[in-house]
Structures are given as structure tokens and as C-alpha cells.
Amino acid sequence: MSASKWKPYPSYKESVERESIQIPSHWEMISNRHLMKLRNQKVGEDWSSTDLLSLTLQGIILRDIDSGVGKYPASFETYQIVEKDDLVFCLFDIAETPRTIGISKQRGMITGAYDVLTCVNGILPNFIHDYYLAIDLIKGLEPYYTGLRKVVRTDTFKQMKTPIPPLNEQLKITKFIQNIDVLTTSLQRILKEKIDLLEEKRLALITQAVTKGLNPNVSMKDSGIQWIGEIPEHWGVTRLGWHCTMIVPMRDKPASLEGEIPWIRIEDFDGKYIGKSKSGQGVSRDLASEMNLKIYPIGTVLCTASCNLGTTAITTIPLITNQTFIGIETNNDIDSNYLYYFMNAASEHLQNLSSGAIQQYLSRDDFKSIKIPYIHITEQQRIASYVDKKVNQIDSLVQKTKTKIDNLKQYRTALISAAVTGKIDVRESV
């Protein structure tokens, strides 16, 4: 999809104020000082009866002072009043800040570090918001940065000029953007629901295969494992610790360990295999030994033992983790690929084994006590191979759907930018 469906305006003119900028012939470049006025009104003693607001990626949201989440000052007297439809600009640390512009949907107060502005008559707050949001998404204020904190000074911002159409056209552009938002939000919701269904299908397929096998006509018996239920009659039941080793730190440096060893965190788990740290962080073997960090060899079934309990991957290179992971080394009668899928199926049930009173945690003994079906190694391998094929098909569909969502977001961004800068004429579309 592209913005090519919409035509440009009949004629354009060069902007005198900013080189290489073209705007529709009937638009004007107007200084921000003539479009917006600083509110600059402290809340004072009324802060206790005023809602606290915050500028986020989702726009300006209401914060709950009494929630206990986050750090707050003892008094908010120096915070600024924000009225409905006021614009809030964060004009410092712009390169790093997640959002530079927001429009308030209610009265409240916000930190004095921000600039709170109200639009003058004839200027639609939503239009100014949409324009500067489009600028923010491409960090378009970069030419105006000053200092190490990349600040756009208030006086500089006031002198900047914004392309402004007539008021009735501002209304049409903002209505067009609202329609686009409704459409793209609806489509994204449908696509996300599709991903959720695919993920449910993925887990159901894995669980069915690793607990029931591949033959739907085989005789079944009770496994004695509550979450599994029945298993094929020729399967047995055993404990993980009877067939696998919960790995201790490696004592001897293998020849393949050269340079820094990747240090893995939960954020690095993405799929069946894990072979690098996304952050690129690693440590030397000497430092790992000094810090008593675990080094897991290739082929380890690595499981989280606390945060995101039961998240699992198979190592493809020697890796380092902290103490919140358990490494499982399989023997000749347990296939690591089968075990990987079994742990995926069991992840939500592992919480029942948690021994942590405050934070969920599985000890080494907890992992050893996990009951698993006892299946001949060749059948485990057939199951794992089958699941590999089916899961890859589902994962491919999930990735394609995620790509569609990303493309939809890019389409929305491009369309909004084109509308608020006058590159497309949307007057007849609303």
C-alpha cells in the first residue's frame, strides 16, 4: 500500500522560509509564536486535587499517584497545568526521548520540564499535533538541536515556521487522519488476533504431539500426570532427573572458547535455538570463573528458572548465563529436540512446582522431579521432526502476519505525513 491513491494539490509554491520545502499554493508558513502560546501556569497548592499526566508513546496518559508504581516528588506544586486540547512538547533529549509531542484529552498537571502550549483561534490543536507527530517520527527537529542534551530552545521553537492550511482544510485533514487511524487500528487488531490464534494452534500442536504421539489410533492409558492425561499404551512415565544432567559450570576450557563468551539473558530467547547475545555483551572465561557464572556447552537445553518460567532454547555455541537459568544435558535415551518441545508444552504447568514465596523459582531438584513420558528415542526423534516441520509452517505464517502489521504502520505514518505536509490532497476524501 502507498499514498499514491491520493493526488497532489493542483499547484505548489516554494517556501521562502525553508529551502527545498514546497507547500500547496494557498497554504502559509507561519511562525509558531503566532500559532501557539505558552500556558506556563503552575498548579501550586491545587496539585492534590489535580490529575497527574504523563507524555508517553501512547500519547498523554493519566498516571495513578497512589499506585506505588514509579517515583514521585513529595509535592507537585511546581508542575504545570494542562487543559483539554493543550499541546505538550518535550524539547530536550530529543534523540533519545520516545515521544516529543502529545495532545491532552483532559485537564491535569505535568512536569515543568515540558513546554505546554495552547493554540490560538483559527489553529486546530489536532492538526498541529498530527504535523509534529509526523516530524517526531523521523526526528525532523534534529537541525534545531543545541548542546549535549540535544535541546530545541523555546525561543528557537517559537521562531520555527509550520505549514498551515485554512481552518476548514485543517478540519478535513484531521478527520481524514482519524479515519485512517480507525481503519489501520481495526486491521492491526484483526492481524494480531490471527497471530494469537496461530500461537494457540502452535502450542496445541506441540502439546498433542509430545504427549499423545503421532498415531491417532493407538490405544491409550492414564499417565498419572494431571496436565497430560492419557498417553499411548506403549509409553512409560519417568522423571527428568533420571535421564538428564542438570549441568554445573564447565571446568575445562574447550578449544572452541576463544575471546569473549556471549552472555545470554531472557531477551535473547527467540525461537528454538540460541547462539548469540542480542546486546553483543560477553565476558572472558577468567571473569566468568571469578563471577561464578555458568557456561553451557553446545546442545544444552537451556530453561529459565524464574522470570518467564519455562522459556526454553537449545544452545548452538558455548554460552554464559546468570543463576536464573537451568541447563539440561540429555543422555542417549532422551532427544534434546523432543525435550525442547516437551518443555514448551509444559511451561505453563511448571508454575505449580515453583518454590519461591515471592518470586516464582524452580530449583535444580524441581527440574529433576519433572515427570515426562518415557518413549523410545527413535519415536522421540520422529515426533520432534514432525513438530519441526509443522511449527516452521506456523512460524512462517506468524512472521508474514507481523510483516503485514509493520507495513500497515509504515503506511499509516507515510499517509499522515503526506496529508499534514500537503503532499496529497485529501479534501474530497472526507
pLDDT in tens, 217-271: 999 999 999 999 999 999 999 999 999 988 865 544 444 455 678 888 888 888 8
Write the burial class of residue 302 (CB in 10 Å: 0-12 exposed, 13-18 middle, 19+ buried): buried
The alpha carbon of residue 146 and the mean position of all alpha carbons in its chain are separated, in whole angstroms, by: 30
Q: Which residues contact 426 (CB under 8 A, 6 or more apart)?
A: 6, 172, 173, 176, 419
Phi, psi (deg, nearest 5) at residue 328: -115, 120
Q: Which of 269, 327, 326 is nearest to 298 (CA)?
A: 327
| Residue 21 φ then ψ, to 5° | -105, 125
- Position 253 scores a pLDDT of 47
Backbone φ and ψ for 62, nearest 5 degrees, come out as -85, 130
Q: What pLDDT does residue 295 have?
A: 80
Angle at 155 between CA 153 and CA 159, to 5 degrees: 115
- Rounded CA-CA distance 305/292 in Å is 17
Backbone angles phi, psi at 186, to 5 degrees: -65, -45
What are the residues whose beta carbons fall under 8 Å from the beta carbon of 165, sequence distance 6 or more? 24, 26, 27, 127, 173, 422
What's the confidence (pLDDT) of residue 250?
A: 56
- Please, what are the averages of pLDDT over each run of 10 residues along the chain (430 residues)? 73 75 93 94 91 92 74 84 96 84 95 94 96 89 83 91 96 95 95 97 96 95 93 95 80 53 84 84 73 81 82 88 84 93 89 59 85 95 97 96 96 93 90
Q: Phi/psi zone of residue 294: left (φ > 0), alpha (ψ -120 to 50 degrees), beta?
A: beta
Which helix (H) or strand (E) is 36 found in, with range?
strand 36-38
Predicted local distance difference test score (pLDDT) of residue 6: 86
Cell of 301: 537445553
The span from the CA of 223 to the CA of 233, in Å, is 9
As beta bridge partners, residue 24 has 12
pLDDT for res 228: 94
All three cell numbers of 318, joined, read 558455548
Q: Select from 219, 231, 210 the least CA-distant residue to 344.
A: 210
Copy the grid coordinates of residue 60. Answer: 498523554
Rounded CA separation 48/121 (Å) = 31
Residues 6+ apart with CB under 8 A from 406: none
Reduced to 3 states, what is the DSSP secondary structure of residue 63? strand
CA 235, CA 232: separation in Å to the nearest integer?
Answer: 6
Q: Is 247 helix (H, G, I), strand (E, B) or coil?
A: coil
Write the burial class of residue 357 (CB in 10 Å: 0-12 exposed, 13-18 middle, 19+ buried).
exposed
Q: What is the pLDDT of residue 305?
A: 83
Question: Maximum Cα–Cα distance for the chain, whole Å?
Answer: 84
Q: Which of 33, 43, 38, 36 has its CA nearest to residue 111?
A: 43
Q: What are residue 268's phi and psi, to 5 degrees?
A: -85, -10
DSSP string, 267-321: GG--SSEE-S-TT--EE-HHHHHHTT-EEEPTT-EEEESSTTTT-EEEESS-EEE
Domains of the chain, earliest start first: 28-164 (3.90.220.20), 236-374 (3.90.220.20)
**Which pLDDT tens digit goes with each residue over 122-146?**
999 999 999 999 999 888 888 888 8
